[in-house]
Structure 1
């Protein structure tokens, strides 16, 4: 049996969504510097609908400047978009190549012509796979908030191309009641990277203005996702890269049942009030729910606390990182 490779830990731009909108205007170079300072192996950058939250242009000179900073800090980079249409993915592959990225993540969205999203993904990703191969880039289809891990695995089986693989999200398939262990079992062999996060279920009526349960992002270790078990399962399937995506204060509704999970039990255990904003912030979309909160400052605190938790737990569980975290 071959020795397991150390895990590359990347830092996701979503960790900085509140700081990017704050008075300080935290920018892409701050993100890159932070990743290097904290000991991450690389960064995940969104490049959809430019100018995006951090990547501001598709101009080759601008992208070369960003790439130079990434390389100067000895970091890797992956890019992220959404959609499976050929025109958009072709554009995104060229941007990805300019940045020197290895992986381009996408996920399915409703199609304008009303086609089934899975069928659309098979058509679009199959069409651009030869270009991705020519560029040395691998497309990663994520189990996002539209397809379960099981459904993504079916799409990838239909495409059957080495340059079209998967990005595993630790929490997304739970909104369909697909248990994390099942998600890993069916999708693990395709996974080349992952979004590591934690979540809780907020009971119906506890999110202001919402009369249904909500799936809420929380700091690592404060939720109910089996982070260690999921990470080890993905490693056993061959994955060597994971990206920390801080989803604190992000929430979404549960969708139609496509799995065996049960609200109020296990992963779906309810987190009841009172809520500490350093852990749970239900209803972030209504600014009235954020009055008196310095979201940028709390976001920074939560990200650093989560990074410390991750360093401690991975060391305790003997999950070896490519580079030591400096927290």
Structure 2
């Protein structure tokens, strides 16, 4: 099983221009990983069209591809939405970079069934191009959907080039246990976001908080084992989402979990002061706090990579 690194794992470094795509590739190599997953959605202080990639200028893409090839790294792309023209432009970039998987998601903030229906027609329209280029589209179970809603979408599209990105933690925001998420999506999985979460109380609100992989309440051992045994994938991408918090997006019980207090939904003390982990698009840290967060993110990622490598040693001979 190959292990890759998603740029979101260094989102604070990217947002504050402490890292660019070449630095990130070098980090993946430094960690001894096998690939990268590049998030191209707009983000705080990043290119509005190409996010962590930085640009789609031909010379820039050529240099990125050369760096990937130099280190024999696989590449995947993370985008959002299902606009047909945007999909076509991302497919073109993916082809240049040698990326054979493109992740997208449909809902943001709230679950909207009408967006799901629109997605079916748009994805069917670009499916021939995916086939021509040999690229798979992986629809992520984002924070708004339960796994069965993603499965219904994929089955309606009915293409070998369209499956899912199984994010082992996102279902929590829809009150779905991560083990259920992984079990349900296994047969449809093209690629993975591997992470860990805890539930925290922030004032009067309950939130899902990221943390170093292996230190949260997701049964990551079970999830890794299931992905190895029940899918055909050859890659798992580390997405260490910390510092990061998210609100619950669906009503209690919609994803099958009807109470808190055990398993992945056990309420824990915040990993750090919640003021440090407000959504980064609304949080502008002081210089002192920024340096703390940058160091924290780096240290947490070191721990996360080491932990996932141990899972690989355990389950992949």
TM above 0.5, yes or no, is: yes
Distance verdict in 2 for CA 1:280–1:163, change over 3 Å: farther
Segments of structure 2 that go 5 or more residues without pairing to the other structure are 43-47
Which structure has the highest helix share of the two?
2
TM-score of the two chains, using structure 2 as the length reference: 0.88
Tell me if structure 2 keeps the 8 A contact 1:218–1:280: no
The alpha-carbon distance between structure 1 residues 41 and 87, as it changes in their structure 2 partners (threshold 3 A), is: same
Q: 1:226 corresponds to which residue?
A: 219
Q: Deviations over 1:26-62 (max 9, x none)?
A: 1111111111222111000122355544211112221
- Give matches, 1:148-227, under 5 Å: 148-205=146-203, 211-227=204-220
**Do the aligned partners of 2:198 and 2:266 also contact (CA within 8 Å) in 1?**
yes
CA change 1:99–1:217 in 2 (3 A) is same
Q: What is the deviation of 1:311?
A: 2.3
> 1:193: Cα distance to partner?
1.0
Structure 1 residues 110-125: aligned runs within 5 Å: 116-125=114-123
Aligned to 1:13: 7
What is the SS of the residue equivalent to 1:203? Answer: strand
Q: 1:289: Cα distance to partner?
A: 9.2
Report what 1:208 is aligned to.
none
Tell me the distance in 2 between the aligned counterparts of 1:54 and 1:199. Answer: 24
Which residues of structure 1 form unaligned runs of 5+?
1-6, 206-210, 321-327
Closer, same or farther: CA 280–272 of 1 in aligned 2, 3 Å: farther
Other structure's SS at 2:205 match: coil
Offset, 1:251:
0.7
Q: CA RMSD in A?
A: 2.3
Say if 1:252 and 1:92 are closer, same or farther in 2 by CA, change over 3 A: same
**Aligned mates of 2:22, 2:261 — CA distance in 1:** 42
Residue of structure 1 in register with 2:45 after alignment: none
Are the equivalent residues in 2 in contact too, given 1:214–1:253 (CA < 8 A)?
yes
Aligned to 2:256: 260
| 133 and 280 in structure 1: CA distance in 2 versus 1, 3 angstrom threshold | farther
Match of 1:43? 36
